[in-house]
Structure 1
């Protein structure tokens, strides 16, 4: 019984110490954990010009470092989905009846720098209640456009459509090389550029609203780029795989329309609401080798990162 009482006492004392340390307002918080949700919209060859919002959700999480009074360095992981469908385009706006569609699950890892309009004072809890900011950076995107195999394929020279055994099955379009002989990588470099506004909710919590455009260096987010359809002679119609590839490449069986626009790369739009929680940050200080680089709470100067020489003792 005494052991149980002793363990319970130690547990309560430990929790009290941790709580006091974590929520101490004397500890300057330069590390910020972030997480948010929002929506993503594809800006590509299969974008519906009649709509501006997409119900496809995204989830993100990351960490920020307050490097200077205006500059934050951020790393971020974004999971999101994009989609597009010719069948959903307003007939008055759709000049091409390609019968093409895609859906893609994507992963983006990025590093960005954000610049705040108002200064972050050394005592983090005295920060502005509202603070707009802009940001830009670089990231790596993994994308995988997918679509359902049509139930039939129009093979040149055949009087009737040929039934496909795997009709209705969703597959990765990159695997089928639908714009032969042009294949593409499912990895792309992206440039995130955007703006947001941050609201102080409590000493330790901010909420921000953010909109950004991702400039990409690929035109295949939707598997559509080339102006012309692939030459039928590049498909072996005796093989089931090539029959499926041709059906995915040219579902209508005609080459009279333009398939895509190779003049412009694809983009995507991200709109998010994020929670930002200020951390004590000892673990990250050690991880990134910046332990001991603290704000001087009296002068507001930072030592060790941008300034040389000894720092004055803080209270």
Structure 2
């Protein structure tokens, strides 16, 4: 019983000390821990014209530092999914179904900087209620488009059952646009706008939309204008039969255009984040920076411990 009472008292004291530290206004906090959710949308060769709702979830977290009253920068790690297909086509737009589709689980690590429209007050608790901003940066994307293997492969007029029909496989390893290949990493440049809203002295909420400029046309595994030559697939090799099925799922598109190599793939990100202003004393030591300490002296309330407001004489 005594031990439980002691533990309870220690926990209450620890919580009180943490609360006093977190909610202290004496430190001009420049560090912000961020986290939020949103959606991602692929903009590539398998984006249906006129479709704006083929979106997937993203989750993001990061760390920001305010350098000046208008400029802050930080790092962000985002996990998200992209997908696309050409099944729901619009004949009036002269599009056609190639039977191609993809889904990809991705990771993006980025460094971004933001410039706010209005300056932040010297004391962080006195910042504006609403403050729009622009954002730009650079990052690296880890991607791996996947698709379900069709039931049959069509090569040289022959119809052959694909060995892995119905399975979800990585498209990259099958080289569906032979002899072209691609890696798993791509450089991206985030560019966008957002708005920051003050919720409490220590918490902001941001809504941000940004486009990812990439230098890669294989985020959806489709790029080349023409289908690969049938001679590049060996019917005696099971992997090549699967590759042929993934490359031309319908068997009727070989004489048509497969992709557009003149335009790289993009993706659109929208998310809502919470930003928590933290003291970051450890981070200050690591990076050699720090917030300015406010020189706020406690108000004296009389001369003794049990003086309840009486004047000292």
> TM-score of the superposition, structure 2-length normalised?
0.90
Aligned-pair distance for 1:162?
1.6
1:294 paired residue number: 291
Partners in 2 of 1:162 and 1:117 — Cα distance?
61
**What is the RMSD of the two structures over their aligned residues, measured on CA atoms?**
1.6
**Contact 1:149 1:167 survives alignment (8 Å):** yes
Which stretch has the larger CA shift, 126-135 or 27-36?
A: 27-36
Distance 1:125 1:50 in 2: 44
Q: Does 1:214 align with 2:207?
A: no
Change in CA separation of 1:4 and 1:52 when aligned onto 2, cut-off 3 Å: closer
Distance in 2 of aligned mates of 1:260 and 1:121: 51
User: Aligned pair count?
Assistant: 296
Corresponding residue of 1:256 = 255
What whole-Å deviation, never above 9, does each CA across 1:43-74 have from its counterpart, x for those lacking one? Answer: 10000112112331111111100111111112
List runs of 5+ in structure 2 lacking aligned partners.
298-313
1:294 Cα deviation after fit: 2.8
Q: How does 1:26-65 map to 2 (within 5 A)?
A: 26-65=26-65
**Aligned mates of 2:3, 2:167 — CA distance in 1:** 62
**C-alpha contact 2:36 2:60 (8 A) present in aligned 1:** yes
* Mean Cα deviation higher: 278-287 or 268-277: 278-287
Aligned match for 1:234, one of 227, 232, 235: 232
Q: CA deviation at 1:137?
A: 0.6
2:306 aligns to what? none
* TM-score using structure 1 length: 0.90
* Secondary structure of the corresponding residue to residue 244 of structure 2: helix
Query: Which stretches in structure 1 are left out of the alignment for 5+ residues?
Result: 298-312
Structure with higher Rg: it is 2
Q: 1:25 to 1:257 in 2, by over 3 A?
A: same
8 Å CA contact retained: 1:122, 1:296: no
In 1, the alpha carbon distance for the partners of 2:34 and 2:122 equals 20
Alpha-carbon distance, 1:92 to partner: 2.7
Partner of 2:84: 84
The 2-side partners of 1:43 and 1:83 are apart by 10
